[in-house]
Structure formats: structure tokens, C-alpha cells
Structure 1
Amino acid sequence: MKENKGEELLSLSLGINTITTTTAWCSKKRKGREDFMASDRKFFNLLQIRDQMLRATNTKRYSCGVEDGKNSLQVIHLLLAAAAAAVDTNGGDVNTAVDALGEVYKTVSLKGDPIQRVAVYFADALAARILTPRSPFYQSFMLTPTPEVEFSAFTDLYRASPYYQFAHFTANQAIVEAFEDEEKENGGRLHVIDFDVSYGFQWPSLIQSLSDKATSSKPIALRITGFGRSIQELKETEMRLVHFANCYDNLFLKFEGIFRGDDATGRSIKIEENATVVVNSVFYLRNLRSSTEISDALAVLYSLNPSLVVLVEKEGRQRQGGFLSRFMESLNYSAAMFDSLNECLPADSMERLNIEKNSLGRDIKHAIVNGDEEDEYLNHEVLQETWKERMERIGFEEMKLSSRSVSQARLLLKIKSQYSTTDHGSNGGFRVIARDEGKTISLGWQDRILITASGFTRRHL
């Protein structure tokens, strides 16, 4: 992708001017609110337009010319017009929103430029937001991938992009160093409490790093307490990790999976006595849906008395302000993610389509459809504070991450560039940034920061 094209796609600096233009477009097109029964035909027609787009996808080629830039700007205007109409203060202008979404589907392709591709999922999300789960059309826009397909998409993203690997390797480096600092007192025992263990992809690299430190006469005992979204997923994660750890005779792994539905607060955690205790929070806190959930989670975190809390979160302010401003922020972030995949996978790659449809696209739909504004306190007060401020309020202080963490992150990007499958031959758009006097390390894509890692220790009184 040409440099000026990338800047145009990723800046999306429409701001107030775009919202003003969107409002004017809506005023011109608004015909008055109709009830949902009368709009069924419009949604049926919208699905037909969407199906035509999907069928035509195989005949469209990826390009990045000047004309595509103009089309991208048009798509953004249409999406914002649909979003503005969908959340109109009078209850939503269904006709205007559906008309705008129809124009989006006529303009985009799943093999187009990043804005075209990401727009498909935002259009689906807006259509589903206007409907209700009871509508016969709802599932057409919100088709949920099976757990097997989700796992496949996550695996493809993990292999192709440095996104998750940066988060996991940076966190693991800090964990190893915390273990080393207490090696004389911990008796070779490390207890990691993972608030979102997911598929467990973070932990094989930690197991290997600890094994490199251990000996047959001085083995290391690693206990992982991991929270998961399903019992089956936790069982599969345990099986993978135990199988991997069995390859090392100088490390003993004990995995304890906790289904979040049985213990939403985490108060049943049993701490490994005399071990170095580390809390791992990677992409977890931002998913909490209320100020009460956040407060409860942080209270539990503090009560565990950990030597280290590793915090990795997405950059951005998706939950602040009204729906339109959060929609815009989400569009900016997602456009950067889709654009970054061009450096990792070919435009016609089935892996790229799998990632965008069943991982990134699924997340977009979930965020837009479920992104309500019921908790005004959460949206406008609590999350105006940074996670650093919230951690400091409960008794933690941010620590400086080591130079090894930065070096390892930069080495990761260098290695990923060597295995790039694109014609560009490198992951040149990705970059590692050390900030806040070395207290945070971020992964960026061009001029956008994607995720940031930081570490916290309990404040000494």
C-alpha cells in the first residue's frame, strides 16, 4: 500500500466536520419514522443487496488507487449517516439508516481496500442494532461462528500478525523477571493468575523460558489459574498446556481452570503458598461492562497481594462520549487493524478472510450491537481515568519495564518481517514504542497505537 494511501485510510480525521455533514445528509434523506413491520421489505431488499456484494466479491480485485481513496471517504460518510440515523433522538430513522447501508453494500467488497473490508462488518453491525434478536433478519447479519471456527480464526491471527504475540511475549518477559527477583524466597515456585486464559496461547513461551532457567536438580513449579468462558474451552486449554509442559522434565505444571460463570468475582482463587504470585490481565478489564464489575475486579486483584500485575490493553477511548463518537473511534481502530493485515497476508488469502470475518469482524459486531449507553457513570466518568490512575487509586504503582522487554518486542517484529507472506516483504508498518520513561511499551501500526503493556507492583507504605 502506498504511504499516502495508508495515511489517508488511517487518519480518518473527519471529526466535527464529518458529523456535521452526516447530520445534513440525514436531514435531507429523512422521510419520517415507520414501524418495523412496514420496514420488513426494506430489510429484505437490504439483504439482497448484501448477497449481491458477497457474490461479486470473487470478481473484484484489490487496488489502492486515488479513486479507491474517494470511495473510502464516501463509505465512511455513509456509515456515519447510517449510525446517526440508527440512534436518532426520535427513536431512530429506520428508512434513512437502511438506505445508507444499502449504498455501503453497493460500494464495498471483502477483497477491497481495508476501508471497504471493514465497512462490511460495521454495516452488518448497524443493521443488527436496528433490528432485534427476534427479527427473522437478525441472524443473517449476526451469524455467530462456531467455537471451532473462532479458534481457527484466532490461530490464523496469532500466526500472521505480531498483535497477540507482542502482548504475550512482553507480559511473559515481565513475569520471568518478577520470578527472578524473588528466586531466593520463592523456592522455585511461580503462581500465575490469568483473568482471561482464552486458548492458553500465551503460556508455552513462558514454560519454555522457565525451563531454560531450571535444571534437573533445581526444577521450577509453575501453577496457572486461568479463567475461561466455557468449561470445554478450559479443558482443551489444559490439555494443550499439559501436553506441551510434559516435553520438559525440569518444569512441573499445574493448571487450574475456573469457569467464569461459576465464579464471576474470582474470590475462590487459592494462592500458592510462598510462591511468586503474578496477575496477568491481557485484554480483560476493558471487556467489563459496568463500573461495579470494574471495581469488584480491581478489589479482588488487590486482595491477591501479587508481586506483579501485568496489564495489556487496547489503546483508544471506545466507551467515552456518545454512540457516534465511540462508533468513530471503533472505526478508526478497526481500520488500522484491517490495514495492518495487508502487511501480513495477501489480499486474496483465505486466512485473512477467516481472521476478518470470524475474529475481528465478530468483535466489531459485538461492540456495536451491545454498545449501549445505559451506564452513564461508566461511559462519562469512570473510564475517563486511565487504567494507570485506577490502579494507583487502589494501592499499586507503575513500574519501569526492562530494556529486555523492548529488545524482545523489536526482535519479534524483525522475525515476523522475515516470514512475511506479502509482496512488501516486511512488516514495516508495525513499530514498538517505549513511553512514559520506560514504564509502558506499545505496539503501533503506522501512526496509530494499537496496544500498550505496563506492569504494576503494590505500593510500599
Structure 2
Amino acid sequence: MPPRRPTSAYAGRRRRSPPPCSTTAAPARPPHPPSPEPPPPISAEDWEAVLSAGDMAAPPAADSCFEFQLLPWIMDDDDDTLDPFLAPPLCQEPAIEPLLLQPPQPAPLPVAEEDLQPQAVVDELLEAARRADSGDSTGAREILARLNHRLPSPPLGYPPLLRAAAHLRDALLRLLVPPPGPGSVSSSSSPLDVALKLAAHKALADASPTVQFASFTSTQALLDALGAARRVHVVDLDVGFGARWPPLMQELALQWRRASAASQLLPPPSIKVTALVSISPGYPAHPNNMELRLARESLTRFAADLGIRFEFDAVVFDPLGLDPSPPVAAAPGEAVAVHLPLGSGTFSPALAALRVVKQLRPAIVVCVETFGGCHLPLSHHALNVVRSGAAFLESLDAAGAPADAVAKVEQYILRPRVERLLLSDRMPAPWQTMFASAGLAPVQLSSAAEAQAECLVRRTPTPGFHVEKRQAALALRWQQSELVTVSAWRC
């Protein structure tokens, strides 16, 4: 029986009955343990409660947009699908009420309307950024302190521009008054934090086509470049929960089954995913953290259901370290592909990092850009961030996303991204120029990728999204604002 095809990386979650807990008595704890105990695992029911909180209704099924079949799961709305991102079954524990899992949301403070004119707030933020860039940190902090009293955080119920401005204000405060302790941006490590972050990503995938656009366009570019390769090695510098790789794994399995049915039985293909965890001010290196373990377990289970060979590895990546050799290497016969995030704050395309990427001799480098302008002065960069954040939030509001879903996305996706962008190092030049200096050349995306992106937008029930073809890239725009851009490069 052929494997079931996922409609998206986050669709079709199904409750699985957890196995009974072991009745074996636990050994006595030593009086002085050598290291702190890890936090208790969240139960399967807790995961389900978090993931089901604030879910949106699935969009209605759409007719086929074009005759030839590209990535079949984009055209399939079957809800009875395997979800590779449901946590593995754990022991039964008392369920936590969904409301208890929601982060506390204070009510917005009553503020006079004239005190919160969006343009005036943005102008003050840009003035604070200009003063910080010129070395006047005291003047910048005074401006931000005034805004801190006038604009609540989180700014629930306010227009998108004010909400984006509040996140920018908090990031600027963090830049000027860094918290004590190592690391600039706090990382979520507890089971509850990871569950809420995963719920935020699911809410975003339900409410906005940005996730599917980036995933499907990238996958089509990879398929066009890799051809009939049977051993694929993907190097990902922003693996997250691994949500972008099930479509590629599914297509490799389908190609294998079609080839086996047409000619002779072939051994299953293999895919290896290597997560490069970049050491940077905005992304502390934790190669064995809970998110990576969840990605490894979920993708391993998904590959086993497809019947293909799979391997996952996580490597700490220091592009500015003393050892210039790449932290990973391709095995003989492997086709290498690299995924580079741009504008997420998790990776800075410095020339040293791009040289390491080039040493891998990849068949293709796929770049997904969300917020650009990291090479600009701080004030211009801040303006770009607040505009992009406001457009992103406006598109969520227009889609009719529930307030609790938008709150999750703001707290666990947008806010950390803005912090990382403000705290990360500035690039000396536009990233396209740096790519060219490192010897990377743009690759034209295929007509199949463009047709697929157009089909996805037509399936989106909210008007206002459209695809723009720009040189060798495809961009998803909301009204006149760019939300995400996908481009392909080759050494």
C-alpha cells in the first residue's frame, strides 16, 4: 500500500494513545547528584492540549490549478494523514488545561489616542536607533523609557504597526541594556516552552501561506537541482523543528516507488539532514537541545513510515573560529544541498561562513529571506524591521486568525526574530553582493516552482497575497509588502 501523503508539514495531527507507565520502582536518588536533573517530559496529552489550543479551521479544498503534478501534497486535503511533528508517545500524565498552557496576557492599558499615533511612535523609535548608532545610548534609553510607559507589552488589541513597534522597542532596550548572564537572546528549553513554540508555528502555518510558500518553493528548487539523485545530504542552518523536509522526503519516496514499478526493484533512497547550529550573538549553540531532539525523532519516524533510509546530525558551526575546515563533509556519491535562512537572525552570511558553505560543493543553495536590510545602519534597519513586522501582523489579522493564535505567533516567532535581528552583527554589504563575492551565482527558478506558488496563493482564502517574480527569485507579498523570498544559488 503506498504511503499516505501529508498535506503540509503541520497538517493532520492525530491523537495517539500513550503506552502505560512503567511500574518499576525508581532507584533512590543520591544525596548530592552530580548535575541538575532535566525538566520532566511533557506528556502526550499535554502536547495535544497545547497543539489543539486555538487551531483554525482548515481552508476548503480547491480544484487542481494545473494539469501536471508537482508536489502532490499541495493538492491533497486528506485529513487522515501521518503527521511527523506529533511528539512521540509518552507516559500518561494528568492533562493540563489548555488555558493554563497559555502565557499570561495582561489587558492593554488605557492610553489616550493622541499619545499612540503609530507614525509618531515609529519616529521616536527611529530617533532612539539613530542616537544608539551614534553612541548616545543615554538619549536612546530616555526615549525608549518614555515609550515603555505609553505602549504596553504585549500590545494586545492595537494596530499592527503599534504592535510591531512595541517588539522593536523591546529589542532596542535589550540591545542597550543587555540582561545579565551569557547569551543575548533567551532560548526556550523547557518542555512547555518548546510545546508553545511548536503551537505557534502550527498556528502560523494555519493562518498564513508564508510557511507553505517557503517550504514548497524550496522543495521544488531542490528537486529541480538534485534530479534523480538517490543519496541526498541536506545541510540546514536553521532546521528548527525540521518542518521543511517532509515534502522532500515524500517526493524522494514517490520517485523511488515509481522507478521500482517501471523497471526493477531498487534499494530505497537515503537522505541525511545535518543541522548546523551557528554560534552567533543571537543564536546560542545548543546542538542537543529539545527542539533538535524533537526534529530528529519526528523525521526519523516519518522516514521509517515512508520506507527510506534517514540520518540526522547536529553540529556546532563557528564560521569565525580558528579551524577553517567545514564541520561537515559529503560522503562519496552524495548530492549536497544547503538551506540558508536570511533575515531570521539565526545566520549571518559572512564571507567566512559562505566560504565554508562553498567547500561543501553543494548542487544547490536555497535561500529563504524574511526580513532584509541587515547591512543598513541601525536606524534604517529598524525601520525595515518594523515595516516588515507590521505587514506580517496585518496579513495575519486580515486572514481572521484567532487572537490567541496571533498572540502565540507574536510571542514565540516574531518577538524572538526581531530581537535576533537587532542583536546580530551588521553585514558589511547586501547579502546578494556577498554571495557573488564568495563565488555563488543565482539560479533561475523553474516554471514549475512559479506555477506551484501561484496555485498556493489561489488556494488561499484571504485576498491580498500575490507572487512576484524578481530576477532569479520568487517573492510572496502581502499588498505592497514583501513577506518571504526564495532564491537558489550555485557554486
Q: Return the TM-score normalized by structure 2.
A: 0.65
Q: 2:365 aligns with which of 309, 312, 315?
A: 309
Q: Does the CA contact (< 8 Å) of 1:238 and 1:257 recur in 2? A: no
Match of 2:443 among 396, 399, 417: 399
CA distance in 2 between partners of 1:204 and 1:223 (Å): 12
Relative to structure 1, is the Cα distance of residues 282 and 364 closer, same or farther in structure 2, using a 3 angstrom cutoff? closer
Distance 1:148 1:260, change over 3 A: farther
Corresponding residue for 1:120? 166
Higher relative contact order (CA 8 A, sep 6+): 2
Deviation at 1:196, TM superposition (A): 2.3
> Relative to structure 1, is the Cα distance of residues 118 and 144 closer, same or farther in structure 2, using a 3 angstrom cutoff?
farther
Alignment-derived partner of residue 444 in structure 1: 477
5 Å matches for 1:277-426?
277-283=336-342, 287-288=346-347, 294-314=350-370, 316-321=372-377, 323-346=378-401, 348-368=402-422, 370=423, 379=427, 382-384=428-430, 386-387=431-432, 389-415=433-459, 417=460, 426=461
Deviations 1:107-130 (A, max 9, x none): x94122212322322232333344
1:258 aligns with 2:315: yes
> AA paired with 1:57?
P
- Structure (1 or 2) with the greater helix fraction: 1
**Residue ranges of structure 2 left out of the alignment (5+ in a row):** 1-104, 278-285
Is the partner of 1:231 in helix, strand or coil? coil
Report SS of the residue matched to 2:398: coil
Q: How does 1:186-205 map to 2 (within 5 A)?
A: 186=229, 188-205=230-247
Counterpart CA distance in 1 for 2:292 and 2:376 is 33
Q: CA RMSD in A?
A: 3.4
Query: Is the CA contact (8 Å cut-off) linking 2:108 and 2:152 kept in structure 1?
Result: no
1:92 equivalent in alignment to 2:138: yes
Q: What TM-score results when the alignment is normalised by the length of structure 1?
A: 0.69
Match of residue 80 from structure 1:
126
Maintained 8 Å contact 1:285/1:294: no
Q: Is the 8 A contact 2:137 2:176 kept in 1?
A: no
The alpha-carbon deviation at position 91 of structure 1 amounts to: 4.0
Equivalent residue letter for 1:361: R
Matched, 1:273 2:332: yes
Note the alpha carbon deviations across 1:7-41, whole angstroms, 9 max, x for none. xxxxxxxxxxxxxxxxxxxxxxxxxxxxxxxxxxx
Alignment length (residue pairs): 363
Amino acid at match of 2:168: F
In 2, the alpha carbon distance for the partners of 1:285 and 1:367 equals 7
Conservation of the 8 A alpha-carbon contact between 1:225 and 1:258: yes
1:313-359 CA distance string (max 9 Å, x none): 235313312x222211211111111111113343x521110101221
Partner SS state of residue 401, structure 1: coil
The residue identity in structure 2 corresponding to 1:169 is F
Distance 1:223 1:339 in 2: 38
Q: 8 Å contact 2:344–2:420 — kept in the other structure?
A: no
* Unaligned ranges ≥5, structure 1: 1-53, 61-66, 136-141, 373-377, 418-425
Report the AA paired with residue 178 of structure 1.
A
Aligned counterparts of 1:68 and 1:170: Cα–Cα separation in 2: 44
Provide the identity percentage: 24
Question: Could you tell me which of 300, 320, 323 is aligned with 1:242?
Answer: 300
The equivalent residue for 1:11 is none
Cα drift, residue 239 of structure 1? 0.5
Matched, 1:56 2:107: yes
Distance 2:315 2:424 in 1: 27
Do the aligned partners of 2:171 and 2:418 also contact (CA within 8 Å) in 1? yes
Matched, 1:175 2:222: yes
